[in-house]
A = this chain, B = another copy of it.
Amino acid sequence: MAGKLIGIGVGPGDPELLTVKAVKALRMADVVSVPKAHSDVSSLALGAVRQILEDRQDPPELLELVFPMTKDKSEIERVMARNASAVADRIDRGKVVAFITLGDPMFYSTFVYLFEAMRRHYPGVEIEIIPGVTSLTACAATARLPLAEREEVVAVIPSEVDKCEVEEISRHADSMVFMKCARRFKELVTVLKRSPFEKSTVAIVRRCSMPEERVVVGEVAEAEGWELPDDYFSMMIVKRRDAEKERGDVV
């Protein structure tokens, strides 16, 4: 049997939001790999697959990979080369290594780093990618706020993007999604109040699809008064209400 690497998106956290394909892959993988750096993220990803792994009669090896917490590019490359080597070593021995990641492997995931390191150092290794449900749409479902219709433009904006950039983007988007935004929540609301999103609906979803899930939905105008805990897994969706006016035919 030839070994390979499988990048598996396990979805937002609820074990039922894994795909059938992800479940099958996790039932047969020889090694299950998780990033160690952000222990909270790793434990949430592991939590989503725990039952599948516990139900196995032949438990897989658990391989924790340390991801760099630095911005130093050469340090990142050094650590990632070591991770790639640990994975390649097992693949060489015919093992199937499943790297699990919350959400989707190609969407703000540490898998991208492993993927690129593998391609650089072990270009012959087979890599399969199983997409997953992202927090993007899972949060929209929880907040009951349609993310996009017809000709609406959606912008996905990570936590550290500059305030002026956010202002610029707000002129061209109908929906904006701010990833892991809790720390900057008040600052972002202030920006939104002076933008075309001034009269928008805003939803904050914490720990979407998990037992600790919390949702707040309201108006941008009132959001400055909200007191929100600084939870890493918080997402904010804003949707221009006037965008709906322009809606045309359905298909």
Task: Write the nearest CB–CB distance from A180 to chain B, whole angstroms.
Answer: 10
CA distance A247 to B77 in the complex (A): 11
Contact A69 B165 (CB under 8 A): no
Task: Write the nearest CB–CB distance from A8 to chain B, whole angstroms.
Answer: 11
Contact B153 A155 (CB under 8 A): yes
Q: Enumerate A34-64 residues with CB–CB distance to B below 8 Å.
A: 35, 37-38, 41
Residue of A16, A116, A133, A168 contacting most chain B CB atoms (<10 Å): A133
Interface string of A21-41 (1 = CB under 8 A from B): 101100000000001011001
Say which one of A91-99, A156-164, A215-223 lies at the interface with B: A156-164
Task: Write the nearest CB–CB distance from A200 to chain B, whole angstroms.
Answer: 16
A198 at the interface (CB under 8 A from B): no
What residues on B are CB-neighbors of A247 within 8 Å? Answer: 73, 76
Given A107-B140, A155-B154, A155-B155, are A41 and B148 also a contact pair (CB < 8 Å)? no
A150 at the interface (CB under 8 A from B): yes
Contact B19 A106 (CB under 8 A): no
What residues on B are CB-neighbors of A157 within 8 Å? Answer: 153
A112 at the interface (CB under 8 A from B): yes
Contact B156 A165 (CB under 8 A): no
What residues on B are CB-neighbors of A116 within 8 Å? Answer: 146
Q: Which of B11, B148, B151, B251 contacts A107 (CB 8 A)?
A: B148
Interface string of A125-139 (1 = CB under 8 A from B): 001011111101110
CA distance A150 to B127 in the complex (A): 22
Contact B71 A248 (CB under 8 A): yes
| Given pairs A12-B131, A112-B146, A112-B149, 18 additional interface contacts (CB within 8 A) | A9-B137, A14-B21, A20-B23, A35-B251, A68-B249, A105-B137, A108-B149, A110-B251, A116-B146, A129-B141, A132-B133, A132-B137, A134-B137, A148-B156, A151-B159, A151-B161, A155-B169, A172-B172
